[in-house]
Amino acid sequence: MKKLIMAAGLAVMLTACGSQEKKAAEGENPFFTEYNTPYGVPPFDQIKLEHYKPAILAGLEEGRKEIDAIVNNPEDPTFENTIVALDKQGALLRKVQIVFGGQNSVNTNDEMQALSREMSPLLSKYSDDINLNPALFARVKAVYDKRDSLGLDKEQLKLVEETYKDFERGGANLSPEDQAKLRELNSKISMLQLTFGQNMLKETNAFKLVIEKKEDLSGLPENLVATAAETAKAMGMEGKWVFTLQNPSVMPFLQYADNRELRKQIFEAYINRGNNNNENDNKAVVRDLVATRLAKANLMGYKDYASFVLEERMAKNSANVYKLLDEVWKPALAKAKEELADINAEIKKEGGNFEAEGWDWRYYFEKAKKAKFNLDENEVRPYLKLENVRDGVFYVANKLYGINFKQLNDMPLPYKEAQCFEVTDKDGSLLGVVYFDFFPRASKRGGAWCGTYRPQSYKDGKRVPPVVTIVTNFTQPAPGQPALLSADEANTLFHEFGHGLHNLFKDVHYSGVSGVPRDFVELPSQINEHWAFEPEVLKVYAKHYQTGEVMPTELIEKLDKSGKYGQGFATVEYLAASYLDMDFHALSGQAADQKVLKFVDQTNQVPANFDVMDFEKQTLSRRGLLKQIPSRYRSTYFNHTMGGGYTAGYYSYIWSEVLDCDAYEAFVETGDIFNQEVAQKFRQYVLTPGGIDDAMVMYKNFRGKEPGTDPLLKNRGLK
C-alpha cells in the first residue's frame, strides 16, 4: 500500500514537473508552435541544437497517445477513426525529424551525430511498437476486410491497402512465436549490415599507396598530385604523395598514372577490400546475411528474399528483373568488347607487348578517347556558369509546364549561402518553395540529392505547398570567380531538379500514399536530364561567362558523341553488380536456375561452407564477363546490397532508365521536345499522383503502352 502511494505521489510530481518544463520550453522551442515564417518554412535561424531532443521526445510521447487513442476508441473501426487517424499520428515527430534529418546532412557536427545515435533505438522501438501492436492491427484488419463496401475513392482504398500491407510485411499476421523469431532475424540482419559497412570503411582506409619518387607521378594531373601531397602531409609524410582507395583518389590514378606496376597495386587493393582474411574480412558477413535474409523470407512465406522485396516494386518479381538485365547485357558486352579492342590497339601503338588487364582499362581508354574526340573538359566549363545552368533548368520547366520562379530574399535559410525560390503554377497559384545549396563543406554529406523540409500535404481540405531542397557538391570556385560547372555537374542539376518537380507537383491527401517504389523514383529525375544537352536548350543557357557567346555547335556535337563512348564498360560493370545482387537474393532451395542450386541445400538453407567468392565468380563468368571488368562492386564491398537500402534493388537505376528513355521518346516522336500535350500528360499521370496508382498503371496512363528497352539502348549508344 505504501509503495502504491509513493508511486502515485511520484507520478504526480513528475507530471507537475513535466508540464512546467514543457511550458517553459514551449515559449522558446520553435517546434512546439506553428512556424511563424513566410510560406511556413522552418525557422532555421531560431532552431538551436538543444531544441531537437525535447521536441523528439515530446513527439514520441504525443505519438504514443495518438496510437492509444486509436486502439481505445470505443466505436467500431472505420476508415476515419483508424486508417486516417493512423496516417496522421506522429505529426510533431515528423515535423522535427524532417528538419533534423535535413540539417544533419548539410550542417552536421559531433553533437548532432551523437543525438542521432541516441535517438535511433527509441525511434525503432516506437515503430516496432506500432507494427507489432495486435490491438491496432485488429482494427486495421477490420477496416481492410470490409474495404470494398465502404464507398472509398481510389486514393482512400489505396491507403487502406498500403496500411494493411505494412503491418503484414512487418509480421503482424505471424504467430507470437514466429514474431519473436522475426524480431531476432531483423536484429541479426541490422547487426550484420552495420558490421559489413564498418568493415568496408576500415578496409578502404587501411590501404595507402605511398609514392616517394617524383617520376612515379608521371601522367597524373597537377591538381591530383597536389591533393596527394596534402594527404601525405596530413599523415605525417611530408614530401611524399599518398593515394587512397577513395574514389576521387583511386579512379583518376587508374586513369592517368603511367606507372603500370603502381596501377596494378592500387587496383588489386581496391577490388580486394573485405577479402583479405583479416579481422575486417566480409566474406562470412555476406554469407550470414544471405542466409539470414533467406530465413526471413521463408518465415514470411516467400521462396526467396528477392521475392519478398520485389513484390513491393514496379518490377514485381525476379523474372522481370532478369529479363531486363539480360536484354541489355548482350549489346553492352558486345560494345565493351569493341572498347577492349580500341584499348589493346592503344597498347600496341605505344609499343606494348601485352594484353590489357583490369588496371589498364581506364588508362588506355582515356588515350583512345582523346585520340577519337579530342575533347577537353575545360573547353566546356566556361559555357556552364552555375547561374546560367540553373536558369536553363528553370527555362525547361517553364517551357514544359508553364511554371514560374522568383528568387526570395530575407528568407530563413537551411544554410547561410543557400538560395530560395518561390515556384508558381501557370495560373499564378503557389506550388511551393525551393532551396538550393550548391557547394561542399566539411559539415555536409557528399553527393547530390533532393529532399523536403515539408512534404506536400492537405490540411483542413487545403493543399499545403511543399518546401523542397536541392543539395549538390559542385566544384567550389576560387574567391571572386564564378562557379563554372562540368558537363556532369550540369547534368546533376537537371537530375535533382527533376526530383524537385516530382515533389512540387505532387497532390495527395494522405502521407501513406505519397511515396513511389524505388525502381520508379528515378523516372522524374532521369527524364529531366534528357533536356540538359539538347542543342535548342543549350542555345538558351550555355553561354560563355565572359563573352556571352553560345556554345559552338561543333563543341555540342563532340560532347554528344564522346558521351556515348565508354558506355560498354559502364553498362557492363553496372549490370554485373546488378546480377550479383539479384543472384544472392534469388537463392533458394527451389531456385529455377540449376546453376545456382548447388549453393543451397535441400532444406532451403545456405550451407555453412557457402563460398562467397566462388559464387561471385561462377555467377559472373557464366554470363561471359570480361576478365578486365570487375563488377562495379564486388561482394565484400557491395554496400548498396549488403549494407541494406538497395538489397535486390541495385537494378533499379536501369529499370528507371528504361522508363525515362521511353518516356522521353514520347516527346521526341512528336517532333517537339516541349510538346504541350505530352508534358501535360506526364505531369498529370506521373508527377502528380504520388503512389496512389500502381507504378505500371501510372506509366501506361501516360504512355498508352508499356515501356520498351529500345530507347535506352539507343540512348546509351548500344544499338
- At closest approach, how far in Å is the CB of 99 from Zn ion? 22
Rounded to the nearest angstrom, the gap between the alpha carbon of residue 175 and the centroid of all alpha carbons in its chain is 35
Measure the CA angle with vertex 190, ends 122 and 449; round to 5°.
Answer: 80
> Buried (b) or exposed (e) across 53-80, using 16+ Cβ within 10 A?
ebbbebbbeebeebbeebeeeeeebbbe
- At closest approach, how far in Å is the CB of 565 from Zn ion? 24
Query: Between 280 and 525, whose beta carbon lies closer to Zn ion?
Result: 525
- At closest approach, how far in Å is the CB of 527 from Zn ion? 11
Query: Between 339 and 437, whose beta carbon lies closer to Zn ion?
Result: 437
Query: Between 522 and 616, whose beta carbon lies closer to Zn ion?
Result: 522
Q: Which stretch binds Zn ion (CB under 5 A): 233-241, 352-360, 523-531, 649-657?
A: 523-531
- At closest approach, how far in Å is the CB of 499 from Zn ion? 6
**Cα(602)–Cα(607) distance, integer angstroms:** 10
Query: Between 503 and 525, whose beta carbon lies closer to Zn ion?
Result: 525
What is the footprint of Zn ion within residues 263-282 (CB under 5 A)? none
Q: According to the binding rule CB under 5 A, does residue 133 interact with Zn ion? A: no
Which residue in 203, 339, 496, 573 is the catalytic one? 496
Which phi-psi region, left, alpha or beta, contains residue 690 (left: φ > 0; alpha: ψ -120 to 50)? left
- At closest approach, how far in Å is the CB of 644 from Zn ion? 18
Helix or strand holding residue 430 (H, E): strand 430-437
User: Residue 141 has what DSSP assignment?
Assistant: H
Burial class, 167, CB count within 10 angstroms (exposed 0-12 / middle 13-18 / buried 19+): buried
Query: Between 525 and 647, whose beta carbon lies closer to Zn ion?
Result: 525
User: Residue 385 has what DSSP assignment?
Assistant: B
**Cα(408)–Cα(422) distance, integer angstroms:** 7
Q: Answer yes or no: are the C-beta atoms of 359 and 542 closer than 8 Å.
A: no
Q: Answer yes or no: are the C-beta atoms of 600 and 673 closer than 8 Å.
A: no
Question: Is 222 considered catalytic here?
Answer: no
Query: Between 195 and 525, whose beta carbon lies closer to Zn ion?
Result: 525
**Cα(230)–Cα(239) distance, integer angstroms:** 9
Helix 134-145 × helix 49-71 angle, to 10°: 60
Q: According to the binding rule CB under 5 A, does residue 503 interact with Zn ion? A: no
Can you spell out the DSSP letters for 526-589?
A: HHHHHHHT-HHHHHHH-B-TTT-PBPPHHHHHHHHHHHHTTHHHHHHHHHHHHHHHHHHHT--T
Residue count, binding to Zn ion (CB under 5 A): 1
Greatest Cα-to-Cα distance within the chain, rounded to the nearest angstrom = 96
**Cα(286)–Cα(647) distance, integer angstroms:** 12
- At closest approach, how far in Å is the CB of 448 from Zn ion? 8
- At closest approach, how far in Å is the CB of 610 from Zn ion? 34
Between the CA of residue 368 and those of 257, 342, 629, what are the distances in Å? 15, 6, 17
**Cα(265)–Cα(12) distance, integer angstroms:** 68
Residue 657 CB partners (closer than 8 Å, separation 6+): 522, 526, 712, 715
Query: Between 388 and 526, whose beta carbon lies closer to Zn ion?
Result: 526
Helix 652-669 × helix 695-703 angle, to 10°: 20
Query: Between 521 and 613, whose beta carbon lies closer to Zn ion?
Result: 521
Q: Which stretch binds Zn ion (CB under 5 A): 30-38, 94-102, 393-401, 524-532?
A: 524-532
Can you spell out the DSSP letters for 463-517?
A: EE--EEEEE--PPPPPTTSPPB--HHHHHHHHHHHHHHHHHHH---S-GGG----
Strand partners, 481: none
Query: Between 195 and 491, whose beta carbon lies closer to Zn ion?
Result: 491
Query: Between 446 and 704, whose beta carbon lies closer to Zn ion?
Result: 446
Q: Count Cβ atoms below 10 Å from residue 312 Cβ, excluding itself.
A: 15
- At closest approach, how far in Å is the CB of 550 from Zn ion? 29
Q: Which stretch binds Zn ion (CB under 5 A): 61-69, 152-160, 258-266, 525-533?
A: 525-533
Query: Between 252 and 451, whose beta carbon lies closer to Zn ion?
Result: 451
Query: Between 616 and 657, whose beta carbon lies closer to Zn ion?
Result: 657
Q: Which stretch binds Zn ion (CB under 5 A): 3-11, 149-157, 196-204, 520-528?
A: 520-528
Rounded to the nearest angstrom, the gap between the alpha carbon of residue 325 and the centroid of all alpha carbons in its chain is 20
**Cα(201)–Cα(245) distance, integer angstroms:** 10
What is the footprint of Zn ion within residues 370-389 (CB under 5 A)? none
Q: Which stretch binds Zn ion (CB under 5 A): 83-91, 92-100, 289-297, 522-530?
A: 522-530
Q: According to the binding rule CB under 5 A, does residue 525 interact with Zn ion? A: yes
Residue 477 CB partners (closer than 8 Å, separation 6+): 483, 484
**First CA to last CA distance, the chain:** 84
- At closest approach, how far in Å is the CB of 540 from Zn ion? 24
Q: Which stretch binds Zn ion (CB under 5 A): 40-48, 319-327, 482-490, 519-527?
A: 519-527
- At closest approach, how far in Å is the CB of 592 from Zn ion? 32
Task: State which residue has the least CB distance to Zn ion.
Answer: 525
- At closest approach, how far in Å is the CB of 659 from Zn ion? 13
- At closest approach, how far in Å is the CB of 228 from Zn ion? 31
Chain residues binding Zn ion by CB under 5 A are 525
Active site residues: 496
